[in-house]
Amino acid sequence: MITKQLENIIEKYKITKTENIIYGTNIPMPNAIIPTPWKAYIKFDQTEHYFFYFDEEGITIYPTTGEGYVTINWRDIENLKISHVFILGKMAIKTKESTYKFQINRYVIGCPWIKRNTKFLEEKKYFYNK
């Protein structure tokens, strides 16, 4: 399913450098705590799934739904921090106005392109040169 969503994004936006794309989600934050006599339930924001496209211009974020996108130019980014864990990682993008936090999937069963693309982007230092 992820690969099909990626194919739709590539076709719709005429993306030619497909090795520059990785997959991830937002980091849902708790938005409510519901106490009951037996235990407390925590409600979280909805998880959104994205494709992240890195190039010399910046980072373009495409929702997997294929509806719209946003590009954050390198000149607007004050700091990019990417941490690596076994199959997951975290990415924080700090601009003058805000900080955006995402979880990056370094491996997904049935999507070997994610692992290849992650390795490629790590070698290129995600095109981030500050």
CATH code (residue 94): 2.30.29
- Give me the domain span that covers residue 76: 2-127
Tell me the C-alpha distance between 7 and 14, whole Å: 10
For each of the chain's 130 residues, which pLDDT tens digit applies? 899 999 999 999 999 999 999 999 998 777 777 888 887 777 768 889 999 999 999 999 999 988 899 999 999 999 999 998 778 899 999 999 999 999 999 888 889 999 999 999 999 999 998 7
Count of domains for the chain: 1
* HSE (side-chain half, CA atoms, 13 Å) at 37: 0
Q: What pLDDT is stored for residue 81 in this prediction?
A: 95
Tell me the C-alpha distance between 59 and 53, whole Å: 6
pTM: 0.86
Please state at what angle helix 112-123 crosses helix 2-13, rounded to 10 degrees: 60
Q: What pLDDT is stored for residue 7 in this prediction?
A: 93
